[in-house]
Amino acid sequence: MHNPALQACGIDAQYVRVQVPIGQVQAAFSLFQKQNFLGVNITIPHKFEALNAVDVLDPLASQLGAVNTLAIRKGKLFGYNTDGPGFLRSVQEAFAADVKDLRILVIGAGGGAGRAVAVQSVLAGCKNLLLANRTESKLQPLLAELHQRSHGGVTLRTCSLDAQHLAQHLPEIDLIVNATSLGMKAEDSALLPAGCLESRHLVYDMVYRANEPTKLMQQAKAVGAKQADGMCLLLHQGAISFEHWFDQPAPIEAMRAGLLAA
């Protein structure tokens, strides 16, 4: 999506993929700097290591605990997180809704992506957040952090992933976010028990699969619920990276077309 964006804006640059071994993020950043790179996207598993490898850390990246975008300006390394704001924009685009007005369930809140969604939602003014994770003990530090950030202004609850608990809580939820890796493989079991989705639910699956929709997307479609998959997040986090690098609006339709073509 970035090469079509560069082309659409007439920018004489190229987006390339570089594999970096774990533990070598700082060394890689120095090399990019020397080679006159303008910016970098950082993905799994380097987003946490990148936090400590920049000269200037954006406050939001610090709050979300991960850097996925580097901008190199006058030899200085600036670290940003565009996953969180990308989530907000994609919810707005897919559902014409604002996170602050929704009661949100984040499944997989103990993982990196789920944590970012939960923290970003609270920062964006969400008043009602329900967190679930297979390993429930991972939710406790996040709960404490969210309580601190929201100064008690948010109703924060946890629920277990068993069918009975989920079915009990889903009537009080508007937006359901899957931030687990469940759904990446066709043979993965369904995330939600059958029969608990309603047509009024907004269903957001961070997972994306090129060939066929995930089971969660299929369940949502079957009941007539609005859906968004991970492609939407991929697009918008990329667009915000582009804006950091070039200080101009991203050519979103060129990027969307590039993404779909890829």
Q: List, by residue number, the catalytic residues.
A: 47
Residue among 57 and 179 whose Cβ is closer to ligand NAP: 179
Residue among 39 and 111 whose Cβ is closer to ligand NAP: 111
* Closest distance to ligand NAP from the beta carbon of 107 (Å): 7
* Closest distance to ligand NAP from the beta carbon of 125 (Å): 22
* Closest distance to ligand NAP from the beta carbon of 6 (Å): 20
In the complex, which residues of this chain contact ligand NAP (CB under 6 A)? Answer: 44, 83, 108, 110-114, 133-135, 138, 179-182, 184, 206-208, 230, 233-234, 237
* Closest distance to ligand NAP from the beta carbon of 180 (Å): 3
Residue among 121 and 237 whose Cβ is closer to ligand NAP: 237
Question: Over the chain, what HEC string results?
Answer: CHHHHHHHCCCCCCCCCCCCCCCCHHHHHHHHHHCCCCEEECCCCCCCHHHHHCCEECHHHHHHCCCCEEEEECCEEEEECCHHHHHHHHHHHHHCCCHHHCEEEEECCCCHHHHHHHHHHHHCCCCEEEEECCCHHHHHHHHHHHHHHHCCCCEEEECCCCHHHHHHHHHHCCEEEECCCCCCCCCCCCCCCCCCCCCCCEEEECCCCCCCCCHHHHHHHHHCCEEEEHHHHHHHHHHHHHHHHHCCCCCHHHHHHHHHHC
